[in-house]
C-alpha cells in the first residue's frame, strides 16, 4: 500500500494510560468547585488590556459562563480579561484542589508520561538547539513532577529545574533531581537552553519574563516552549469546554504573530514553530462523557492519523516554539 502519510509525524498515545478514566467529568467538577471563588476576578469590558503588548483594542474571541477571552488587534495574543495582580495566579497552584488534580492526572501517570514524552521532548529540544550538549546546561522552567529532567539526566545532560509548587519541588528532590523552588530572577547562573513545557501560557507579563530569560541565557542560547494553541479544531468544536482553556490559570494563548511580537520585544528571534496537539483525544473525551461510550478506546487506531493531519495543517491545540537569543 502507498505510504499516504509520508512526511507526517505520527505519535501514538494510549489515552487510558495518559489520563484518568473520568478525566472530563473531573475537569467539570473542579471547574464548578473553583468557579464561585474566582469569577469575581473577571474585569469589565472597558478594562481590557493585553498582557503582552498592553494595548486595549481587541475583539471578543470566546465566552464561557461569563469568562471571556479577547484577541488583541495589535499583537494577536488571545487572553482572558481577569485581574492577576498580587501574584494571584501563582497562589492558585499551592492549594488542595490543584494538588488533587496533579496527583490524579500527572503523578498516577508519571511512568507513562516519562516513557512517552520525556525522551521524545529531549530529542526534540536537542534537535532545535544545535549546540554541544556534552557541555551544555539545560534549565527546565516550571518543571512539574520532573520526568523531563529525569530523562535528560539519564542521557547525561546537565539539567536542573525550577518550580513554584511546594509538593512538586519536594517530589523532584525526593527523586534525586536538581530542582529548587525559585523564580527565574533569583538564579545566579547562566544556561544554554531553557525549556518551558506548558509554562508560557501562565505568564502574567511575558515580555518582562523573556527579558529576564535573556539575561540568564548564554550567548545564542535557546528557549523551547510548548504551549496551547486556541486557533485549533479542539477549540472550534469544544469552545469553552476545551480543557486547555484552564480558566483563571491560562493567561495568554500564543500563535505565530504573538510569538514574533514577544521575541522582537525581548531580544530573541523565532527560529521554528511546530504544531502538535491532542485535539482528537480531547474532543472524544468530551463526547465519551456525554454519550457514555469510550470513543478513545473504540477509535484508538484512527486517532494518531487524524491528529497528524491536524498537526500538518497547523490546526492542532498545541504549538512548539523555538526562540534563539540574538546576541
Q: Judge whether residue 19 has pLDDT over 90.
A: no
Residues 146-197: pLDDT tens digits?
999 999 999 999 999 999 989 899 999 999 999 999 999 999 999 999 999 9
**Bridge partners, residue 180, by sequence:** 162
Residues 6+ apart with CB under 8 A from 295: 284, 287, 288
pLDDT at 89: 47
- CB-CB contact of 221 with 325 (8 Å): yes
Domain with 85, as residue range(s), is 15-325
| Helix (H) / strand (E) containing 319 | strand 318-325
pLDDT of residue 104: 75
* CA geometry: angle 34, 35, 37, nearest 5 deg: 70
137-148 average pLDDT score:
96
Burial of residue 76 (CB within 10 Å: 0-12, 13-18, 19+) is: buried
Q: Specify if 74 maps to a domain.
A: yes
- According to DSSP, the β-strands at 217-228 and 318-325 are antiparallel
* CA distance linking residue 266 with residue 200, whole number of Å: 14
Structural domains counted in the chain: 1
Give dist(CA 229, CA 278) in Å, integer: 11
Radius of gyration of the chain (CA): 19
pLDDT of residue 15 exceeding 70: yes
pLDDT of 90 over the 60 cut? no
CATH of the domain at 108: 3.40.50.150
State yes or no: pLDDT of 71 exceeds 70: yes
User: What is the sign of the dihedral through the CA atoms of 273, 211, 132 and 143?
Assistant: negative
Q: Looking at the domain assignment, is residue 6 inside a domain?
A: no
In a domain, 7, yes or no: no
Averaged pLDDT score across all residues of the chain: 93
Which are the contacts of 23, defined by CB distance < 8 A and separation ≥ 6?
105, 243, 285
Is residue 8, in this structure, part of any structural domain at all?
Answer: no
Reduced to 3 states (helix: H, G, I; strand: E, B; else coil), residue 151 is helix
Over 70: is that where the pLDDT of 219 sits? yes
Is the pLDDT at 17 greater than 50? The verdict is yes
Tell the burial category of 67 from Cβ atoms under 10 Å away from its Cβ (0-12, 13-18, 19+).
buried
Instruction: Write down the pLDDT at residue 91.
Output: 54
pLDDT the model gives residue 93: 62
pLDDT tens digit sequence for 253-303: 999 999 999 999 999 999 999 999 999 999 999 999 999 999 999 999 999
Element (H, E) at 270: strand 268-275
pTM of the model: 0.94
Whether the predicted pLDDT of 9 surpasses 60: yes
Lowest-pLDDT choice from 17-21, 117-121, 155-159, 279-283: 17-21
Residue 275 within a domain: yes
Q: Residue 85 pLDDT more than 70?
A: no
Q: Where are the beta strands (DSSP E) in 119-267?
A: 137-141, 158-162, 179-180, 191-197, 217-228
Pairing of strands 191-197, 137-141: parallel
pLDDT for the residue numbered 92: 60
pLDDT the model gives residue 113: 86
Query: Does some domain include residue 10?
Result: no
pLDDT above 70 for 94: no
**Number of residues written out for the chain:** 327
Query: Does residue 3 sit within a domain?
Result: no
Q: Does the residue 175 lie in any domain? A: yes
- Helix and strand totals (H; E) in the chain: 14, 10
Contact 303, 10 (CB under 8 A): no
Predicted pLDDT of residue 103: 72
Amino acid at each position: 500500500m502507498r505510504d499516504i502519510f509520508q512526511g507526517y509525524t505520527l505519535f501514538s498515545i494510549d489515552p487510558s494510560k495518559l489520563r484518568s478514566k473520568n478525566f472530563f467529568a473531573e475537569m467539570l467538577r473542579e471547574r464548578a468547585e473553583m468557579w464561585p471563588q474566582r469569577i469575581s476576578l473577571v474585569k469589565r469590558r472597558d478594562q481590557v488590556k493585553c498582557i503582552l503588548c498592553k494595548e486595549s483594542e481587541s475583539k471578543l474571541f470566546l465566552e464561557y459562563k461569563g469568562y471571556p477571552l479577547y484577541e488583541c488587534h495589535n499583537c494577536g495574543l488571545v487572553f482572558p480579561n481577569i485581574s492577576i495582580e498580587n501574584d494571584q495566579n501563582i497562589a492558585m497552584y499551592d492549594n488542595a484542589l490543584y494538588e488533587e488534580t496533579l496527583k490524579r492526572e500527572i503523578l498516577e501517570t508519571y511512568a507513562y508520561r516519562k516513557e512517552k514524552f520525556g525522551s521524545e521532548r529531549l530529542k526534540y529540544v536537542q534537535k532545535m538547539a544545535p549546540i554541544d550538549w556534552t557541555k551544555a546546561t539545560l534549565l527546565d522552567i516550571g518543571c512539574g513532577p520532573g520526568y523531563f529532567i529525569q530523562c535528560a539526566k539519564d542521557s547525561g545532560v546537565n539539567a536542573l529545574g525550577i518550580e513554584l509548587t511546594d509538593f512538586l519541588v519536594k517530589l523532584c528532590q525526593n527523586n534525586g533531581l536538581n530542582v529548587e523552588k525559585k523564580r527565574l530572577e533569583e538564579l545566579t547562573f547562566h544556561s544554554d537552553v531553557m525549556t518551558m513545557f506548558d509554562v508560557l501560557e501562565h505568564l502574567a507579563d511575558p515580555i518582562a519574563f523573556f527579558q529576564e530569560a535573556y539575561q540568564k541565557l548564554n550567548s545564542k542560547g535557546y528557549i523551547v516552549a510548548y504551549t496551547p494553541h486556541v486557533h485549533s479544531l479542539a477549540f472550534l468544536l469544544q469552545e469553552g469546554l476545551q480543557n486547555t482553556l484552564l480558566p483563571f490559570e491560562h493567561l495568554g494563548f500564543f500563535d505565530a504573530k504573538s510569538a514574533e511580537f514577544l521575541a522582537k520585544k525581548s531580544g530573541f528571534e523565532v527560529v521554528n514553530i511546530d504544531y502538535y496537539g491532542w485535539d482528537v483525544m480531547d474532543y472524544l473525551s468530551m463526547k465519551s462523557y456525554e454519550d457514555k461510550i469510550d470513543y478513545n478506546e473504540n477509535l484508538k487506531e484512527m486517532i494518531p492519523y487524524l491528529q497528524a493531519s491536524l498537526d500538518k495543517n497547523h490546526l492542532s491545540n498545541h504549538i512548539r516554539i523555538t526562540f534563539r537569543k540574538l546576541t
